[in-house]
Amino acid sequence: MTMDPQLRTLEIDVPSQPDALVRLTLLMAEPEANLADLAALIESDMALAAAVLKAVNSSLYGLSGRVQSVQQAVTFLGMREVAGITLEMGLRAVFPPAAELEPIWQRAAKRGLIMGRLGQAIDGDAWAAHSAGLFEECGKAVLFRHAPDHYRAMLRAAVNDTVLCELEISGFGVSHDALGAALCESWGLNAAAVVCVRHHVAAQADTLLPQSLSRRAVLALSVLAHAMMATPAELESVAERIAPQADLDTQLVLRAVRRVCQRDDSAELHGRS
């Protein structure tokens, strides 16, 4: 997938990928990468390591004891989830702190975790799914950094992301899904993750996957994660509708959804205890 040429003419700065995340992306693409390699990469950046440990010890992951080191975190959670946390922390760090962005980062962390676990449960590309979940709303952060006052008003005015995209195109000439996909591509994310970020708004709104796309499985997981977070009562009906569109076995997807929901409920209980 190539960047839309129109995006190159807009005066909107897409942030460069930090060096630590360049190395992380390369490491996760290596078939022989191991836990020690990942821990060493994270520990080479003290600020990043501290941020990762803080995130690991949050209630989102539901660990019963406090993790004291990156190596310990990787041992408990596995490479993909700790790499996902690292990617999330690195992404957040390229944008200035803002109250309006905090809900975006919180949703990103939860959605990335859900999508990664769903991907693992269906024997799909769990890393691409986790990455897509983390970056799904990153275009909003780019637009907020570009024009904070203007975009703050848009965020307040939009009742949903479909309306927000219309406002963005009217105000900036680009929507956050297209801009987010451009950032994903420039950062070297998996092509399936780029496709997912580009098409997630329409797919979630309509529960329909563009059949012209060759890579639809990760986008299907995005629709499922959205339902799990926004309309959990409709989750199984969404799974039954979306699985065939991505050529996924419906019963396998339903089992994956139930397993991830149970794990999420368990994490919440640990977080409250």
Q: pLDDT tens-digit profile of 124-173?
A: 999 999 999 999 999 999 999 999 999 999 999 999 999 999 999 999 99
Domain region containing 67: 17-93
9 located within any domain: no
Considering 60, 77, 93, which residue would you say is the last residue of a domain?
93
Residues 57, 22 within the same domain: yes
Collapse the DSSP code of 258 into the 3-class scheme (helix H, G, I; strand E, B; otherwise coil) and give the result.
Answer: helix
Residues 28, 72 within the same domain: yes
pLDDT at site 189: 93
Summarize the confidence of residues 208-232 as an average pLDDT.
96
70 located within any domain: yes
Residues 172, 116 within the same domain: yes
Place of tokens 């926004």: 230
The string of DSSP letters for 105-119 reads HHHHHHHHHHHHHHH
Cα dihedral 172, 176, 177, 181 in deg (nearest 10): 90
Where residue 10 falls among pLDDT bands split at 50, 70, 90? low
Residues 142, 182 within the same domain: yes
The CA–CA distances, whole Å, from 4 to 1, 8, 136 equal: 9, 7, 18
Residues 140, 193 within the same domain: yes
Place of tokens 């709104």: 205
Whole-angstrom Cα distance, residue 239 to residue 84? Answer: 24
* Token pair of 150 as six digits: 């203007």
Task: Look at residues 161, 183, 224, 205 and name the one whose alpha carbon lies nearest to residue 95.
Answer: 183
Number of domains into which the chain is organized: 2
pLDDT at site 33: 84
pLDDT at site 11: 73
Residues 268, 145 within the same domain: yes
pLDDT at site 267: 59
Helix, strand, coil abundance in the chain, percent, nearest 5: 75, 0, 25
